[in-house]
Amino acid sequence: MSATELRRPEGACAVVTGASRGIGAAIALALAVDGWPVAVNYRADASGAAATVAAIEAAGGRAISAQADVADPQSPPQLLDAVHEQLGPIGVLVNNAGVRADGLALSLSDDDWQRVLDTNLGGTYRLTRAVLREMIRARFGRVINIASVIGPRANAGQANYAASKAAVIAFTKTAAVEVARRGVTINAVAPGLIETDMTEDIPPVLSDRVPAQRAGTPAEVAAAVSFLASERASYITATTIYVDGGLSA
């Protein structure tokens, strides 16, 4: 397959899950600036999703909001049908939606374990499965899964979250090699300590463990996703890019 066959299809769009705020919102805006029409997925924060859409439109881009709970096995058809109808074929999928339910492994409830796995891993798997056929037909596709430095690095009190994110990295590698011949790349981005709502309750002293001596920003994560979604990243697949200020070293 020649490099010219890997150009993104005309009219293709991007889907970003969990894009009503934080990292997801930054990714949606970055992709829109790159010229992708963007579907801003959200579970419950309709006003946040509307704000993300407004920011994209203010920057000259095109976007819609699309409600769906990625933890629900029935969500992929619901979400993707709405995207196809309003924006067109899907060229980029960013599996960003994620939740935390922290607690020591010996005291985690089954509900807290399952909710985190169903959202962080189950949603990633189901949506990836749902878009791969059309990407293969188009001979172009970019799936970017948002993992975490916590996947390969122990962090007490987050056994469920760490398990889900480590599994996302493993799933990324395996799925990527299965479709690599078809012009589809699947990669992961693993943020470290990033300034978002999900990390606002983490003690500031933890930033001292980061070699860069600061927390990262959602825009810095979005920059890595933007590159992986581009035609320039056509020979990068089955890998994980760490955006963590050196924390994983």
Three-state SS at 90: strand
Starting at the edge strand found earlier in the chain, the sheet holding 38-42 runs 63-67, 38-42, 13-16, 90-95, 141-146, 184-191, 240-243
Rounded Cα distance, 119 and 139, in Å:
28
Which position among 125, 161, 235, 242 bears the catalytic label? 161
Rounded Cα distance, 193 and 207, in Å:
7
Range 202-208 contact pairs with CB under 8 angstroms and sequence separation of 24 or more: none
Three-state SS at 65: strand
**Whether residue 161 lies in the annotated active site:** yes
* Residue 182, number of CB atoms within 10 A of its CB: 16
The residues carrying an active-site annotation are 161
